[in-house]
Amino acid sequence: MTSSALVPSNPEPGAERIAEVSRNTAETRISVRVNLDGTGAAHLHTGIGFFDHMLDQIARHGLIDMDVDCDGDLHIDGHHTVEDVGITLGQAFARAVGDKKGIRRYGHAYVPLDEALSRVVVDFSGRPGLHLHIPFTAASIGGFDTQLTYEFFQGFVNHAGVTLHIDNLKGINAHHQCETVFKAFARALRDALARDPRAAGVIPSTKGSL
């Protein structure tokens, strides 16, 4: 059984884009708050240290204020926690961005970290789609199962309604591979969510809706 609470958001031009979402199931209890026009402040508690570190990259490099609190069934493993945080964060982004008037819509970034290099491209299209290629060189990083990177982003795109392409182009150290992905994701989000002063009040689509 799943329960959720959404704070409606359809921001006026120039208004802060803020949303709060709670999601409670038999496996996880999650509350998320995002401010897409923040400064990168984050308060994170998922019970998985490395995952918190990756979420912090999204906040810091995306200039998104983010509060994430998750009480999950970590006595089993981290799967439900990571996936459900992705779902809830996606819901919060969808609410905060509202009708998408005036945003740039598309964003992309290349981010290096020593020997690692990743590219992320995002489209706030309203159509969920994930294309991910990360040839991780290790199965886990500090207790974080690297397979769960896919689960996080799949949950996010399904509920944020975005198309997301993620490619780790180079990397030997798995920590560096993962961190470049999350940092590039943050920078791509920052680009896509930026308000375009030349298109204020306009939905960036020939269809007239996204």
Burial of 24 (0-12, 13-18, 19+ CB in 10 A): middle
Tens of pLDDT, residue by residue over 149-170, are 999 999 999 999 999 999 999 9
Task: Specify the pLDDT at position 1.
Answer: 45
Distance CA 210, CA 208 (A): 7
Tens of pLDDT, residue by residue over 56-88, are 999 999 999 999 999 999 999 999 999 999 999
CB 18 within 8 A of CB 33: yes
The answer on pLDDT for 89 being more than 60 is: yes
Burial of 155 (0-12, 13-18, 19+ CB in 10 A): buried
Distance CA 35, CA 68 (A): 12
Which DSSP symbol is given to 202? -
Which residue spans within 92-186 are E strands per DSSP? 106-113, 116-123, 129-133, 140-141, 144-145, 163-170
* Band of residue 208 on the pLDDT scale cut at 50, 70, 90: confident
Distance CA 61, CA 47 (A): 22
Tell me the whole-structure pTM to 2 decimals: 0.93
Task: Specify the pLDDT at position 73.
Answer: 98
